[in-house]
């Protein structure tokens, strides 16, 4: 953008929004060309505002944005895909918060990442219809890690570089790799990973969602894969995401594992 260009049009997915001042909203959005951006939607909380319905959380829209001194300002907004089920069903809402929180946590402002924009848009779409929301979350985690530069190595031992055999191996969050029993058994910071969990992670990492959504996992496999991914993500972010605990509490209350 040249310094003379004061307005730009962009697609955007709303990751976060908070009340700002008397009637404004502060939005954190993810865009294809500018990555993550903070924007002000002036007057968006007024009942008469034309913008209010178009800056909903998790929605995908087209924004006309004026360059501001500190924050850029949304001057027009039009919804392309509202992803309504993500605001109508509490469990879907909670997973959508997690998807948004993870993208926010792994990105710096104005760091362009078109593949992540596409993944976010797709993930919100899958969460609208999928039966197995935890499976969507695992698929999304693995592919997000790939597009932000933290893809775990799941096929070759991180010690001897031999292909991993179908046996109980060891996963290291710190090194982002799996070790064979010989290299991993006394290595500090590794935890065991079963044949089945590794198989699931590899499948999710290398196939498209249309193939992966057909997977049916046992409760034990789901739990182990989730534990492994949570450990890896928490290690790299150096903190737990708020939505993770909320998902667990909600699933327990609803009796869905």
Q: How would you class 192 by CB atoms within 10 Å of its CB: exposed for 0-12, middle for 13-18, buried for 19 or more? A: middle
For 193-212, the pLDDT digits (tens) are 999 999 999 999 999 999 99
For 4-34, the pLDDT digits (tens) are 689 999 999 999 999 999 999 999 999 999 9
Range(s) within the chain of domains with CATH label 1.20.1440.120: 85-254
Find how far residue 115's CA is from the centre of its chain. 12
Mean per-residue pLDDT, 135-146 = 98
For 55-90, the pLDDT digits (tens) are 999 999 999 999 999 999 999 999 999 999 999 999
Q: From the DSSP assignment, how many helices (H) and strands (E) are in the chain?
A: 9, 8
Instruction: Give the residue among 183, 191, 193 at the shortest CA–CA distance from 162.
Output: 183
Range(s) within the chain of domains with CATH label 2.40.50.140: 7-81
Beta bridge partners of 109: 36
Which SS3 state, helix, strand or coil, does residue 68 take? Answer: coil
Is residue 183 scored above 80 in pLDDT?
yes
Tokens representing 111 are 């760091």
pLDDT, position 50: 87
Instruction: Give the residue among 149, 145, 144, 151 at the shortest CA–CA distance from 122.
Output: 144
The topology (CATH level 3) of 7-81 is OB fold (Dihydrolipoamide Acetyltransferase, E2P) (2.40.50)
- Rounded to whole angstroms, the Cα distance separating 244 from 100 reads 12
Beta bridge partners of 11: 62
Q: 85-254 in CATH: which number?
A: 1.20.1440.120
For 152-179, the pLDDT digits (tens) are 999 999 999 999 999 999 999 999 999 9
**Residues composing the chain:** 257
pLDDT, position 113: 97
What percentage of the chain reaches a pLDDT higher than 70?
98
């Amino acid at each position: 953008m040249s310094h003379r260009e004061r307005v730009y049009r962009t697609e955007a997915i709303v990751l976060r929004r908070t009340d700002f001042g008397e009637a404004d909203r502060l939005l954190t959005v993810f865009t294809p060309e500018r990555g993550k951006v903070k924007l002000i939607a002036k007057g968006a909380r007024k009942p008469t505002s034309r913008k209010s319905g178009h800056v909903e959380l998790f929605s995908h829209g087209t924004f006309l944005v004026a360059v501001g001194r500190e924050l850029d300002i949304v001057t027009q907004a039009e919804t392309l895909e509202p992803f309504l089920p993500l605001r109508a069903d509490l469990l879907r809402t909670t997973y959508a918060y997690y998807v948004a929180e993870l993208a926010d946590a792994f990105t710096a402002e104005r760091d362009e990442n078109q593949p992540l924009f596409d993944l976010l848009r797709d993930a919100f779409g899958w969460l609208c219809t999928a039966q197995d929301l935890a499976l969507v979350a695992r698929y999304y985690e693995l592919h997000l890690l790939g597009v932000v530069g933290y893809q775990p190595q799941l096929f070759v031992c991180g010690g001897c570089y031999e292909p991993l055999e179908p046996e109980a191996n060891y996963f290291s969050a710190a090194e982002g790799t799996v070790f064979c029993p010989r290299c991993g058994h006394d290595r500090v910071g590794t935890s065991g990973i079963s044949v089945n969990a590794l198989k699931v992670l590899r499948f999710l990492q290398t196939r498209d969602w249309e193939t992966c959504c057909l997977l049916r996992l046992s409760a034990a496999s789901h739990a182990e894969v989730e534990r492994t991914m949570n450990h890896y993500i928490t290690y790299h972010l150096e903190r737990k995401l708020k939505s993770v605990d909320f998902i667990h509490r909600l699933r327990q209350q609803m009796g869905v594992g």
